[in-house]
Structure formats: structure tokens, C-alpha cells
Homo-oligomer: A and B are copies of this chain.
Amino acid sequence: MSLKIDATRGKPNAEQVALCNEMLNTPLENYIAEDGTDVRNYGGNDGLPEMKRIFAELLDVNANEVIVGGNSSLNIMFDFIANMIYCGHWNPSRAKFICPAPGYDRHFSVCEYFGIKMLTVPMTPTGPDMNAVEELARDPEVVGIWCVPVFSNPQGYVYSDETVRRLAAMPAAHPHFKIMWDNAYPVHNFIGERPALLNILQECRKHDYEDRPVMFTSFSKISVAGAGIVCLAAAGETLATIRKRISMQTIGPDKINQLRHARFFKNADSVIAHMKKHAEILRPKFECVFESFEKNFAGTGATFSKPNGGYFVSVETPPGCAKRVRELCKNAGVLITKAGATFPYSNDPTDTNLRFAPTFLSMDELKQALEVFCQAIKTAAT
């Protein structure tokens, strides 16, 4: 088979991005935001009130704890870490970060860019191994942890209430320990209802740690991946420090795109209703993956996660097989994410984890990709 199929990244497909053509192409009847701001001019660097309100509803925080950004949540996470270093809170030559793995490769490359040492802890179906996390947080050089609390990348796990409570309550030796709460998929369920998630900020407040969490979310996989709207939410000194940096750094985010989003999406309920359309498109693809894996993995020793939302299926091959599976797929023209990419320093100690991204493919491509992938699993396992 001479295929050319790319299943490496969590990209929405053409049908999904077309769901927002109306938002992009409806003329704006006027350019004035709720607070009287002409969105075409300068002014305002933390977002329009109507867009803050939607984010506040989605993240269950107060609107004044939200700072609206541009179109890339990675960018505001990167900037947040840069700022922690510049304001002297973190010393990059000594700082260490807790990285639940398998995890999101782009989180890890941000740490690498800044020279922050990464400490791997195992992911479990209820979140990171909290015994390991609590132990590491006692190290005064450990400055933070990466978390994707809902439909974690790549396994699609959702943090349990106990995990959130322990993250909020645990002592941390570093005075500026931060939880990077990358809530990338809060409404991205394709099976069943939106999963419940305990509010990390409220939990932290109970223990006088309101400075600890920084929450991020994004419309990239709600509206359009190339031009969504992102935000962060935080409190206390954490929020104040970010505001200070932003006032030096930028003349403010694109307010026209914010107004388009706010007028199209209106509120969290209507966002959730819109996400049902995404679910209709994605569910058959994931079900096709699950069915194929169930049938073909039998007897190979390979296992897979079966998420109710998010963008990936995570596969565990027998030990020492992940690189080989990826190689076999590549030779047949099916690209999957590099083996190891889901671990800090691309170091998967048992060479078992693979991330499969079905969303961007057409049904036909997906079926071909699955045929190749499952055959590769069987061959490598043998």
C-alpha cells in the first residue's frame, strides 16, 4: 500500500472547522462591545467583558479572574513561564517541573526551551500518581506541575475529585509552586455528558493557596483551530504579576475576533450545544478506532485507552515495541506521532506508548490507517 496518511496531530477535520463558517462570515452590525469599546481601535488588554463572561462560565471562575488572550494557549503558557523566570520567582538553572506522562509533547518542549528539568510521574485513570507528586513537591527546587485535567493528552483521562483535592491541599516547598492547569478539552466530550471536574481554584483557596493554579483554555477546538480565542484564569499575586507583564508586552489582543466569538457563542450553554455538533462528527471515528483495536489487539498484549472525549487514543504496546510499530506504519505511508514524544526528553523508558490521532482523517483514510496500524502492532508483538 502506498498511502500518505498523517495521524500525528490532534487536528480538527474540514467538517468541524466549517461549523464556524457562519461566525467568520456574518457581518458585524456594529463594532461596539458591551462596555462601549470600539473593538477596531486600541485599548483594553485583558479582553472584552462578553468574552470574559463566557470563559468565566466555562471555567467556573469570576470574570475578573480571566485574562483573554490571542489565538494560542501554548503562547500564554509559554509566556507565563517566561514571566515566572523574569520576575525572579523561578531560577531556570535549578527549577524542576513535575510532568505526568504520557503527556502533551508541547508542554515538555516549553520546559526544554527554558532549561527547566523535567521529572516524570506516571499518569493513572484518575490523574497523576498523587503519592509521587506529593513527594516531589517537597523538593524546594520543584516549581510546578503540568496538568491536562479533562481528557488528558493522550489517554483521555479525567482527574478525579480526590486528585484535584490533593493537588490543592498538598504542601509545596517552593514559595511560587504553580499548577499549570491546561484545561484544553473542557467541553470536548463525544460520548456521554460533559465530565464533572472539581474547581482547582476554589479547592486551592480552601488551603490558602489561591496563587497556586493558573487555568488555561481555548476555543481552538471549539470554533476554528487557526483563529480561536484563548484565556487564562488565576487569582491573587499570580494574576497581578501577569497583568503587569501584559501591560509592558502588548497593545492587547485582537478584539474583533473576540466580538465575533462572543456574539456567535453568547454563553457557556450555547458553547456546549455547539460542541454536540463536533461530537456527532467525532464519535463515529473514535468508535471505529475502538472497534478495530478491540478486534485486532487480542492476543498481541497491546492495550488502549477508551476516552469519552478529547482528541487522542493512547496505545500501550508490549515492552520495546512502540518505536518499531511507528517505523512499520511509516514504511506503509501512515504517520503517527513519534514514539516517545509523550514523555519528557522523548524518553519512554519501556518504549510502549503511542498516540493515535483519528480526528483529522476521513473515514476512508482512518480505516486504512487502522488496518496498517493494527498489522504493525501484530508484527511488532510477534
Contact = CB atoms under 8 A, between A and B. Distances in A.
Interface in A109-136: 109-110, 112-114
Most chain B beta-carbon neighbours within 10 Å: one of A11, A86, A250: A250
Nearest to A14: B38
Contact of A17 (B41, B224, B254): B41
Interface string A254-282: 11110000000000000000000000000
A4 to B, nearest CB: 14
A140 interface: no
B254 A71 contact: yes
A68 to B, nearest CB: 13
Contacts of A28: 24-25
A340 interface: no
A70 interface: yes
A175 interface: no
A307 to B, nearest CB: 20
A225 B40 contact: yes
Contacts of A38: 14, 17, 226
Interface in A211-226: 220, 224-226
Interface in A21-52: 21, 24-25, 27-28, 31, 38-43
Interface string A214-245: 00000010001111000000000000000001
A334 to B, nearest CB: 19
A78 B249 contact: yes
Given A70-B70, A70-B71, A72-B251, A42 B78 contact: no
Interface string A285-304: 00000000000000000000
Contact of A256 (B41, B110, B113, B224): B224
A162 to B, nearest CB: 33
Contact of A248 (B70, B110, B256): B110
Given A71-B70, A248-B113, A41 B86 contact: no
Given A70-B70, A110-B248, A12 B41 contact: yes
A11 to B, nearest CB: 5
B113 A86 contact: yes
A169 interface: no
Contacts of A27: 25, 27
A196 interface: no
Interface in A170-222: 220
The 3 closest A-B pairs by CB, nearest first: A17-B40, A25-B27, A227-B256
Interface of A: 9, 11-12, 14, 17-18, 20-21, 24-25, 27-28, 31, 38-43, 70-72, 74-75, 78, 82, 86, 106, 109-110, 112-114, 220, 224-227, 245, 248-257
